[in-house]
Structure 1
């Protein structure tokens, strides 16, 4: 009998279908068993599971709702082994299939051309009973030999809450000069086994709609906030209301500039609200959705009450390299040419979202009482404001 070395590549179908490159693996039966247990713990019944000596693993499962899901999973072990020059408060996984001399070539991730099966790249921490989900769009092709890390604090939150989402800075390295993500950020999700099918739904939607890291982050948060997981709707309420698929809705938005601008504004407000709610300096936040009103009422721990208006910064900086933000309304009344410009006392703070110029969902806060006035209307703000050194990245640090 011919004995193949551990993790040698073999060319054969899994589950009667071709999924690209298949690897022979050893010593990973516990990862295979972990995934099968997770299927059952999350409310599924296993219809088919490929062999533990092959990677990726294909699992077919049926839910109580009779929904059937196919999962093509690339599992990698996560450990707490001490690594030289790395922090001690983190875990490590390594993308490792095949022999080391094969790592220099590309290892594309298998995909179902029909879009029915879901491909996932998972780091499995057997000791802590928690899973780390990597963005299958960003990690394709698999960079074999590369390690990924997560802080203990992130996994602790996942173990406490069952589901935890965070953004991680993504940088180039010795084997990849450019960052994996064009925004320099990637979204990571950690979850416990009973939330496996929640992650399957997230990955299915993220892959089908080609969600970038920021939208993937929002989608993951929405799934995490869903308390009644057993009755998660297959279709979003807007899909039902508009009689369109989510992809059709996004195509409509992407094809109409005003809609896209409005959606970017809403996404910026979402990230701003999330940042403020997580800030230890914020005592209370109220989101407003009223025409001619600012976006948020914010009460700080120090007692200050601030009216905050969220605006997207321009993708282009000033000649001096400073960010700039447009602070004016879309239209003006024909009877009042000043109506397009905001009154100086309309709100206290402008929160400039820097995603357009930087690709990062971060903000700079400026006090309106220190902003330049309109040249013709001294009681109005100038339509374009420069984000100067007086603006702050933390709202509580702003002098108001």
Structure 2
């Protein structure tokens, strides 16, 4: 009897401290307790390699994140060989979930000459193997802003093939149904087609489990309509999988008031969008941080970080941005719908057809996906059709289409300029990563 009571007591303690897991159902996320889940997150990549190895730093940051209502972080790169137990437990105790990019430092899917091979697949699998066991692992990204150009859509089938193969691997290993999705750059000329392509087709095992968008179109004294957020909702109102903003926080008109959060978590968007992630936690050269670890130092001084911005220590709020975000989030707590009451009705969208029109360009026809080991071979017609279109690049709403970050950006360290060659891009990538 005593043994049985002890077993029940231990089970009860486990249930109290365990965090509910996240799953995708229809166009929404739900916790294992049956509550709809809205992402209220922050991009978190303190160092170029892996921010989830320093348990002391994770604790300092998680405590401050919890104060402002953060429930998610996004990490762009990890070392799958590292020990992440303490950091993951720290964030779990704070009620914070991880959304993790699967690509490592040299395995990302490329926009130029795209390919999906066994080396990439095994590297992605290794990250999944290292993190699937954490209950606060909310989802995996198979790519971040792979397509950054108007004519970059020939790489889209490789992104979708990666999602297909990682979902298949997840299921073959008996892992829980951790959602697998993609984070897209806000490129107006191909955004709606990419969004639909990744979810189209009759075979759900080949489609993404969620779609996310990096968008910086709400700047300064903007609005739901001026920013184009109303159009993003219209484009996604019948989308069959969850959609959320994976980077936001335009800083071209300082200080940032994060007024877009009221739209995202309010009645205007919460029926369609499942939250947003603010870019970013740490202050660095791009000036997007909401905390700092101390004043910038001379990069030439002894033991200084390469860019002069400290990357560990006590997190100190950057004001007024930190306070403004905190003020927004404290008043924004959508409850959504209970899973037991939710009956999804949306079906997969039609796969977009090839078009090279100036206003909308999609260079993929149908839903044929490459197998592992495939490499894109451009035919004469395909090469001709993928030439960069003339004219400027914007999202049709008076805002730049590519993410307007500069300096160190963990997801895409350099925003690729229209027409830039791969060689120059590689040089700049290395330069900006360490500046």
Normalised by the size of structure 2, how large is the TM-score?
Answer: 0.25
* The structure with more strand, counted as a fraction of residues: 1
* Structure with bigger RCO (C-alpha 8 Å, 6+ apart): 2
Normalised by the size of structure 1, how large is the TM-score?
Answer: 0.27
Larger radius of gyration: 1
